[in-house]
């Protein structure tokens, strides 16, 4: 026993502590809709009929997001980014506002990104 608290008391405190952590910190995880925008400086933005593709670079990393012009209804969205010589990384699904952010290690290499919302798409081409 610790300070007069039995094993049942300790178990109860552990449960209360864990539940309190959910209240203070919220549940782990999340969706692309709730994700923060990319870190780094914006290097290219490409607009298209249903949204915008944004590419950011900084500290050896590149990041991309596709954001809807008119958030609201769920629709198919995607974003992909690739550093030259590496495999692409991406995010796609049914979102209300944004696909991504997706980040890759780019070092000093060129990167390219593509994004689509409900059948309308855009690409950045290689950005060095």
User: Does residue 92 register a pLDDT over 60?
Assistant: yes
pLDDT, tens digit, 9 for 90 and up, residues 2-26: 445 454 444 443 433 444 433 333 3
6-15 in b/e form (b: 16+ CB < 10 A) is: eeeeeeeeee
- Where are the strands (E) in the chain, listed by range? 41-48, 51-58, 61-68, 75-83, 89-95, 98-105, 111-117, 120-123
Q: What are phi and psi of 103, to 5 degrees?
A: -120, 140
Q: What 3-state DSSP class applies to 48?
A: strand
pLDDT of the residue at 36: 59
Q: Using alpha carbons, select from 59, 58, 53 the residue that is nearest to residue 101.
A: 53
Whether the Cβ atoms of residue 91 and residue 99 lie closer than 8 Å to each other: yes
When pLDDT is averaged across residues 57-81 and rounded to a whole number, the result is: 97
pLDDT of the residue at 58: 96
Whether the Cβ atoms of residue 67 and residue 95 lie closer than 8 Å to each other: no
pLDDT of the residue at 37: 80
Q: Using alpha carbons, select from 82, 79, 78, 80 the residue that is nearest to residue 111.
A: 82
User: Does residue 28 register a pLDDT over 80?
Assistant: no
């Amino acid at each position: 026993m610790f300070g007069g608290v039995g094993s049942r008391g300790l178990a109860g405190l552990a449960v209360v502590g864990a539940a309190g952590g959910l209240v203070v910190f919220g549940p782990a995880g999340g969706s692309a809709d709730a994700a923060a925008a990319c870190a780094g400086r914006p290097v290219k933005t490409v607009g298209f009929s249903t949204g915008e593709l944004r590419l950011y670079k900084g500290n050896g990393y590149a990041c991309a997001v596709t954001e809807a012009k008119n958030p609201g209804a769920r629709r198919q969205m995607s974003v992909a980014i690739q550093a030259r010589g590496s495999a692409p990384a991406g995010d796609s699904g049914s979102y209300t506002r944004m696909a991504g952010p997706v980040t890759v290690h780019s070092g000093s290499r060129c990167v390219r990104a593509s994004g689509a919302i409900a059948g309308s798409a855009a690409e950045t081409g290689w950005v060095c």
